[in-house]
Amino acid sequence: MKRALAHPLYRRLFLAQVLSLAGTGLATVALGLLAYDIAGAGAGQVLGTIFAIKMIAYVLVAPIAAAVVARWPRRAVMIGSDSLRLLVAASLPFVGVTWQVYLLVFVLQSASATFTPTFQSVIPDVLTDEEDYTAALSLSRMAYDLEAVLSPMLAAVLLVLIPSSALFFGTAAGFAASAALVLGSRLPGRSDGGTDTDEVPAPFWSRVRRGAVLFTSTPALRPVLALNLAVAATGAFVLVQTVVIVRSLLHQGDGLVAVMLAINGAGSMTAAFVLPRVLRTVPEKRLMLGGAVVLTAAVAAVPLALTASGVPAGLSIGALWLAVGIGWASAETPVGRILRRAVADRDLPAAFAAQFSLSHACWLITYPVAGWLGAIDLDLAAGVLAVVAAVATITAAALWPSAGRAGRSVVAPQQLSSISQISDRSPITRSD
């Protein structure tokens, strides 16, 4: 990692990514508080829809945007995307109608869906050494994990000094700093000797079709699909309903909303740090299924925790959110190891792309469920999503192949040859 960061251009781009993520993290907290200001106890319904719109932008807009900007200079695309995100973020404090929020969020996330893959395509051309590029992927994942902890904590500190709506200006500042860093960078040509006009991404539905073939034909990947649903069901409840629980049920201020989200992120990050050592002695199956059980039990216990009031209820919810974070990382982090072991090297890009798309499809379903059911009854939403996670966990356990059947993909080469190829350096990123 030190060698990758020693590269001046990559260091500038990585700092741009960190600042952009910091702005995004502040926006996550600010949107929850804005939803509460607009809808009160029905904020979960608004926030669930907002997050679903985010997933729609990534699933539907990203492939269209990739095709449109494929022949444009990548620096111009990234600066333009950051500039658009800046304008939207600076506009959000001045809206107070739900449909306006939905529209602005769609524009914001569409710009992010354009920026992210363009940024990803630059890194392998900056770091041409394979080890440096691998280190860059690890740094990217670390940046996302830190954002889940540090941005809510920064929001909690800022909320002591400024109103919640002003957090969006912090978001705008993050995007402005990112654009300035990219503007001051001279990006290289593509590592294959081509130009920005040479590479056109494969059609989105081709990637989905190819990935679906891989996942359904490879025994070791089938339980991953079920675990994606378990993580999305419980994670959606935490992200959508935290503001309602803190403001309406615990009767606490905006700062505690940010703290609760930071606790969830801290659980995930802590688990991610210790998992490499744990995986030396604990099988992936036991760890991942155990993590799914933990996060399922934590969300199922929410109604019981809320029977208390005041400080005991707050401490109970904080402990449950920490458990969800730990279970989340335990169920999700080892997926990359399984993909690398179960899929032939030439099919890894399609497998990673499929994992990204299919997991986001799960979130697209669970975000609205968490929001709309929570508007009817919070205990009902927790119970339904816990049941979904439990069924998904049981399904994953049933689908998990024995040691003798956990081989590589059994897809015939001719079955895949007709499906469009995708870049062999497409990293996984988190967009929720």
Under the banding of pLDDT at 50, 70 and 90, the label for residue 299 is: very high
Average pLDDT of the segment spanning 100-115 = 91
Instruction: Please check the confidence at residue 417 and state whether its pLDDT lies above 50.
Output: no
pLDDT of residue 245: 95
**Lowest model confidence (mean pLDDT) among 40-54, 223-237, 397-411:** 397-411
* Token representation of residue 176: 């402005």
Please give the angle made by the CA atoms of 55, 56 and 62, to the nearest 5 degrees: 95
C-alpha distances (whole Å) from 200 to each of 196, 212, 340, 378 are 9, 22, 25, 46
pLDDT of residue 45: 92
pLDDT of residue 234: 96
Instruction: Single out the residue of 113, 41, 101 nearest to residue 77, CA to CA.
Output: 113
**Lowest model confidence (mean pLDDT) among 115-129, 235-249, 316-330:** 115-129
pLDDT of residue 134: 65
Q: What is the DSSP letter of 346?
A: G
As a whole-number percent, the residues of the chain with pLDDT over 90 amount to 43
* Token representation of residue 82: 């950051």
For tokens 């602005």, the residue is 104
SS3 labels along 202-245: CCHHHHHHHHHHHHHHCHHHHHHHHHHHHHHHHHHHHHHHHHHH
pLDDT of residue 429: 37
Contact predicate 118/81, CB 8 Å: yes
Average pLDDT of the segment spanning 324-353 = 80
pLDDT of residue 341: 82
pLDDT of residue 359: 84
Instruction: Single out the residue of 39, 318, 54, 23 nearest to residue 155, CA to CA.
Output: 23
Contact predicate 213/55, CB 8 Å: no
Backbone angles phi, psi at 390, to 5 degrees: -65, -45
Spatial distance between the Cα atoms of 432 and 208, rounded to a whole number of angstroms: 19
**Lowest model confidence (mean pLDDT) among 54-63, 68-77, 397-406:** 397-406
- Distance, C-alpha 406 to centroid of its chain: 28
Average pLDDT of the segment spanning 385-390 = 97
pLDDT of residue 124: 79
Instruction: Please check the confidence at residue 406 and state whether its pLDDT lies above 80.
Output: no
C-alpha distances (whole Å) from 166 to each of 34, 92, 155, 173, 283 are 11, 9, 10, 11, 46
List of residues 6+ apart from 249 with CB closer than 8 A: 306, 313, 378
The residue type of 352 is F
Instruction: Please check the confidence at residue 131 and state whether its pLDDT lies above 80.
Output: no
Average pLDDT of the segment spanning 38-48 = 90
Contact predicate 366/385, CB 8 Å: yes
Other Cβ atoms less than 10 A from the Cβ of 19: the count is 20
pLDDT of residue 219: 86
Q: Exposed (0-12), middle (13-18) or buried (19+): which is 179, by Cβ within 10 Å?
A: buried
Please give the angle made by the CA atoms of 357, 15 and 63, to the nearest 5 degrees: 25
Spatial distance between the Cα atoms of 353 and 208, rounded to a whole number of angstroms: 8
> What dihedral angle (degrees, nearest 10) is formed by the CA atoms of 293, 296, 301, 305?
110
C-alpha distances (whole Å) from 84 to each of 89, 109, 112, 115 are 9, 10, 9, 10
- Produce one character per residue of 206-231: b if its CB has 16 or more CB atoms within 10 Å, e if not: bbbbbbbbbbeebbbbbbbbbbbbbb
What is the per-residue pLDDT across 188-238, written as a single tens digit (0 to 9) for each?
754 444 444 444 445 555 655 676 787 788 888 889 999 999 999 999 999
Spatial distance between the Cα atoms of 158 and 393, rounded to a whole number of angstroms: 39
Under the banding of pLDDT at 50, 70 and 90, the label for residue 387 is: very high
pLDDT of residue 191: 47
Instruction: Single out the residue of 209, 263, 223, 234 nearest to residue 419, CA to CA.
Output: 209
Q: How many Cα atoms within 13 Å fall on the side-chain side of residue 333? A: 28
Q: Coil, strand or helix: which one is 17?
A: helix
* Token representation of residue 118: 């363009």
- Going along the chain from its start, the domains and CATH numbers come out as 1-201 (1.20.1250.20), 203-423 (1.20.1250.20)
